[in-house]
Amino acid sequence: MRRRGRPAVVRLVGLLAAASLTLAACTRDAAQPDNADEPQDALTLTVLAASSLTDVLEPVVDTFEVDHPGLTVRASFAASSTIVQQVNEGAPADVVALAGEASLEPLEEDRRDGPVSLFATNQLEIAVPVDNPGGVADLDDLAAGELTLVVCAEQVPCGQATARLLAQEGLEPPIASYESDVRATLTKVELGEADAGLVYRSDVAAAGDRVAGVEIPEDRNVVNRYPALAVSDRELAQAFVDHLLAERVQARLREAGFGPAPER
């Protein structure tokens, strides 16, 4: 009796083991995205974006990832001139989103893998500490010699816009320092190390109650247009650029203080 039973036991153990393996495989397949067998870098999209996009791009990335299950978008932020230099030197990237069309000009042709899309605009605003110790009420007040004024370096889009603004208005205010990008300029004001800083409207909005804003009238202001471009031949790169023009993304940009995409 025992000899006849042993093969049955062996068969039963084998069946149970096979069933366990099948169940484990099904569970694993259900937990992984459809493209889980692709190389890890195929599941990641790298976006290099201007510093002024730091706050608004996070929810934009989130919605894109929801639309593409299994994909991770890695966004990195720096001055637009720095981004272009990095891409020209071979830094891995799929998309660049910059704060000014002039910033795109140095990007080498063989780094470009899609058409340029203008997805937003931005204008300058004067950021001051909440208590506004310099009493800045308008653009002309920046020429007061006793103010500590900080601006962006001229090689970055915010600095280029500032130079255009001051030139067209005939203003030559004393400038205490030229900062590496718009966020560094804003930080000086937030910390009370400057009486005023020329930044973007969107940066004043992002700072919330940490600074106060003094608006510059439309007829005296300058406009920066934001270009985005695929710098790899992946379909997802162009898809992300197109995503920036979607109405739900445009609505988020407007809420964050950006102007609408220029008409195409």
pLDDT, tens only, 117-175: 999 999 999 999 999 999 999 999 998 878 999 999 999 999 999 999 999 999 999 99
- At position 181, the amino acid (one-letter code) is D
Specify whether the CB–CB gap between 185 and 156 falls below 8 A: no
Predicted confidence (pLDDT) per residue in 2-42, tens digit: 334 444 433 433 433 344 434 333 333 333 333 444 444 56
SS3 content of the chain, % helix, strand, coil (to 5): 45, 20, 30
Residue 136 burial (C-beta neighbours within 10 Å; 0-12, 13-18, 19+): buried
- For residue 227, the cross-strand partners are 118
The conformational region for residue 7 under phi > 0 = left, psi -120 to 50 = alpha, else beta, is: alpha
How many residues are present in the chain?
Answer: 264
What is the pTM assigned to this prediction? 0.79
Dist. CA 234–CA 238, nearest whole Å: 7
Predicted confidence (pLDDT) per residue in 47-98, tens digit: 999 999 999 999 999 999 999 999 999 999 999 999 999 999 999 999 999 9
Dist. CA 62–CA 187, nearest whole Å: 26
